[in-house]
A and B are shown apart, each in its own frame.
Chain A
Amino acid sequence: DVKVTQSSRYLVKRTGEKVFLECVQDMDHENMFWYRQDPGLGLRLIYFSYDVKMKEKGDIPEGYSVSREKKERFSLILESASTNQTSMYLCASSSPGQMNTEAFFGQGTRLTVV
């Protein structure tokens, strides 16, 4: 079974902390994505990556950074967590280059910043 695994289902952090959200996929996909999901807003793209060490900003990159040192791992970093970053975070991966390929999602990490 194909799998996208996020390191934590639930996370509680304090304001100002540096937070790492990890995502690993076992499908040898080039493309990986980070989204956040908030009630009434749907999924919003934060960052994506088409290859190792490559990254591109999505629709809402402010306050976030990413790291892609290995093909299978894509990390989302909150440099200084704030309460407005409390959200559900979803990681996804897909095959490269084709618009007709599906994306596979992880189970999500529910982050609460207090």
Chain B
Amino acid sequence: DAKTTQPNSMESNEEEPVHLPCNHSTISGTDYIHWYRQLPSQGPEYVIHGLTSNVNNRMASLAIAEDRKSSTLILHRATLRDAAVYYCILRDFDTGGFKTIFGAGTRLFVKA
């Protein structure tokens, strides 16, 4: 299975942008890059995903390196509600099904 590497924790000030990095050097050509986040006492929730091109949605942006070996989740203006654990995940194409592999994630602290 493909693996991802993320920093254990990061800190940001409220209203400032946050860039959360993820390395996935063993990514294969058919792997999608997904990001989820987990708020305290809740199950993970979907944030964004992409394959090769950068992606934007109402929650965040995803910047994918040209060689696809790394990606960055961008929160444009961090709020206190964004304090969570963020998971970078690759969809590992084995039998054609969906299997999400979660690592330890990055715990984001947001200071007021």
Contact = CB atoms under 8 A, between A and B. Distances in A.
B102 A35 contact: yes
B99 A48 contact: yes
A104 B45 CA distance: 7
Interface string A78-113: 000000000000101010111111111111100000
Given A41-B104, A42-B104, A105 B49 contact: no
Given A45-B99, A48-B99, A94-B98, A100 B51 contact: yes
Given A99-B91, A100-B51, A102-B49, A31 B44 contact: no
Contacts of B65: none
A33 interface: yes
Interface of A: 4, 31, 33, 35, 40-45, 48, 50, 56, 58, 90, 92, 94, 96-108
Interface of B: 30-32, 34, 36, 41-46, 49, 51, 87, 91, 93, 96-105
Given A103-B100, A107-B42, 5 more contacts: A33-B99, A40-B104, A42-B87, A44-B102, A90-B44
